[in-house]
Structure 1
Amino acid sequence: MAKKTKKRKEIKRKLLHKYRLVILNESTFEEKISFKLSRLNVFVTGSLCIIGLIALTTLLIAFTPLREYIPGYSSTRLKKQATDLTYKTDSLVANLNNTNRYLENIRKVLIGDLESGEVNLDSLREQFKLDPSSIDLTPIREDSVLRAEVALEDKYNLFERNTTGTDMILFPPLNGEISQGFNLDQKHFAVDVTAPTDTPVKAVANGTVIFAEWTADTGYVIILEHKDGLLSVYKHNGSLSKSQGEVVRAGEVIASVGNTGELSTGPHLHFELWNNGNTVNPMDYIDF
């Protein structure tokens, strides 16, 4: 026990023993600066300096751009570029998906693929079918006044209102004899109009050319996109007067009658109308 106490006193004495650090002039041995130090003071001071240096280095790395020069830390500029590239990639993927869907719809129009894109409207109507007995059908005064005003306007209307889903006035693309009409059972989703070769084919309404190319089955084909989701398709043409991307007006010549494509049996125009992805009877829209 006495040895342990004596050893502790010896350690304490060594730690607290004073030393004098003197800085002298080498030539004159003049004392310039002197410090009284102990081992404990040196240890504490050194520890505090090391802790302060570590704290200062941490602050510089965390809150200054100096961290970009340390291996293993990414640059802020690179992070921003990576974020921008991620957003651009997402936008490109979305645009690519939209383009693919658009091209798939064009493909269905070209090959007349109605079944794969057909919507069962009866099932939709059944889901939202209402019981007429639960609805109060008694006309109100405002409704009667509105009906009278509409009836008065229609009495002097120069154009018959279209009830086929579009309010556009469509012009005949070609004057000729109809050799085959629209027939869903036979999967003939068009009206065939015969005419002499090179007879002008005209646009049925204002629109934009979204397809104007040659296909093996239907020869020269041109497709116009109109407002309200309406597409007009002209097949088996002898030649095309417009190219993809051009804007055309109603009645403007876009092609000429021909007998091109493996499915053609003579000079005629195979004309289709598609309304919001569904094929419709052109004769419900146009007076041939």
Structure 2
Amino acid sequence: MAKEVKKRKEIKRKLLHKYRLVILNESTFEEKISFKLSRLNVFVTGTLCIIGLIGLTTLLIAFTPLREYIPGYSSTKLKKQATDLTYKTDSLVVSLGNTNRYLENIRMVLSGDIENNETNLDSIREQFELDPSSIDLTPIKEDSMLRAEVALEDKYNLFERKSTSSDLVLFPPISGVVSNTYDAGKKHFAVDITAPLNTPIKAVANGTVIFSEWTAATGYVIIIEHKEGLLSVYKHNGSLSKEQGDIVRSGEVIASVGNTGELTTGPHLHFELWSEGNTVNPLDYIDF
């Protein structure tokens, strides 16, 4: 026990023992500066200096641009730019997919090929069609009360309700004789209207020209995109009056009747209507 106490006193003596640090002039040995130090003071001072240096370095890295020069760190601006670029890349991928589908629809319109069209409206309707006999259609009390309340309000309503029907009216492109009608079985997805050469062809509705070029099979072709996903197609034209990107009005002249293309059989207009990527019979919408 005495030996242990003696050892502790010896350690304490060594830690607190005073030393004198003197700085002398080398030529004159004149004392310039002197310090009284102990091992404990040196240890504490060194520890505080190291902690302060670590704290200062941390502050420099965290709050100054110097961190950008340290490998593994990146600036906030660069991170923001990277995030913005990621969002833009995702948007471009989605936009590219939509554009590819749109161009595929245009390709089908030009070629008249709808065999590869995966959109089958009949199958979609059958998939979600319900059997009325399997559903209990007996109105509940709350439903009857709500119907009576709505009927009473409508009875004294002075304002007409907005019509939900489509206001898209199609204008006949030309006046002539229909020489060939729409026949999906024979892959004739259009009506052919005979007319004299150079007869003006007019737009069936307001829209934007999305295609106006020459094709080997169908000659001069012009395609107009209308609202509600409707496309009107005019083939075998003699000349085109509008270019891609032009805005046209209903009844505005866009081309003239011709006899161009390998598949033509005489002066006529080959007119097609496409709705949401599917062909429709123009005779159901236009009185030629």
Q: TM tier, shorter chain? A: 0.7 to 0.9
Distance 1:28 1:145 in 2: 114
Q: Shift in Å at residue 187 of structure 1?
A: 1.3
Who is 1:60 aligned against?
Answer: 60
Unmatched tracts of structure 2, length 5 or more? none
Would the alpha carbon gap of residues 9 and 145 (structure 1) be closer, same or farther in structure 2, given more than 3 Å must change? closer
Who is 2:113 aligned against?
Answer: 113
| Letter of the 1:61 counterpart | I
Would the alpha carbon gap of residues 278 and 8 (structure 1) be closer, same or farther in structure 2, given more than 3 Å must change? same
| Letter of the 1:135 counterpart | L
Q: What are the residue-to-residue correspondences of 1:38-117 with 2, within 5 Å?
A: 38-117=38-117
Distance 1:26 1:244 in 2: 94
Distance 1:83 1:123 in 2: 39
Would the alpha carbon gap of residues 144 and 205 (structure 1) be closer, same or farther in structure 2, given more than 3 Å must change? farther
Q: What are the residue-to-residue correspondences of 1:103-252 with 2, within 5 Å?
A: 103-117=103-117, 118-131=119-132, 134-136=136-138, 166-252=166-252
**Alignment deviations for residues 173-194 of structure 1 (CA, whole Å, 9 cap, x no partner):** 1111111101111111100111
Distance 1:275 1:144 in 2: 39
| Letter of the 2:137 counterpart | I
Would the alpha carbon gap of residues 67 and 119 (structure 1) be closer, same or farther in structure 2, given more than 3 Å must change? same
State the identity %: 73
| Letter of the 2:196 counterpart | P
Q: Shift in Å at residue 281 of structure 1?
A: 0.8
Unmatched tracts of structure 1, length 5 or more? 148-152, 154-164
| Letter of the 1:37 counterpart | L
How many pairs are equivalent?
A: 274
**Alignment deviations for residues 199-251 of structure 1 (CA, whole Å, 9 cap, x no partner):** 11111111111111111211111011112221111011111110011111111
| Letter of the 2:97 counterpart | N
For structure 1, which segment, 76-85 or 204-213, has the greater mean C-alpha deviation from structure 2 after superposition?
76-85
Distance 2:263 2:154 in 1: 52
Would the alpha carbon gap of residues 255 and 40 (structure 1) be closer, same or farther in structure 2, given more than 3 Å must change? same
| Letter of the 2:202 counterpart | K
**Alignment deviations for residues 145-187 of structure 1 (CA, whole Å, 9 cap, x no partner):** 989xxxxx9xxxxxxxxxxx85422221111111110111111
With the length of structure 1 as denominator, give the TM-score of the two structures. Answer: 0.80
Q: Shift in Å at residue 143 of structure 1?
A: 6.7
For structure 1, which segment, 189-198 or 6-15, has the greater mean C-alpha deviation from structure 2 after superposition?
6-15
Q: What is the alpha-carbon root mean square deviation over aligned residues?
A: 3.5
Q: Does 1:281 align with 2:281?
A: yes
Would the alpha carbon gap of residues 17 and 283 (structure 1) be closer, same or farther in structure 2, given more than 3 Å must change? same
With the length of structure 2 as denominator, give the TM-score of the two structures. Answer: 0.80
Would the alpha carbon gap of residues 60 and 257 (structure 1) be closer, same or farther in structure 2, given more than 3 Å must change? same
Would the alpha carbon gap of residues 193 and 92 (structure 1) be closer, same or farther in structure 2, given more than 3 Å must change? same
Distance 1:2 1:171 in 2: 118
| Letter of the 2:132 counterpart | D
Distance 1:94 1:127 in 2: 28
Secondary structure of 1:254's match?
Answer: strand
Q: Shift in Å at residue 46 of structure 1?
A: 1.4
Q: Shift in Å at residue 23 of structure 1?
A: 4.4
Distance 2:152 2:279 in 1: 36
Q: Shift in Å at residue 99 of structure 1?
A: 1.3
| Letter of the 2:108 counterpart | K
Would the alpha carbon gap of residues 178 and 77 (structure 1) be closer, same or farther in structure 2, given more than 3 Å must change? same
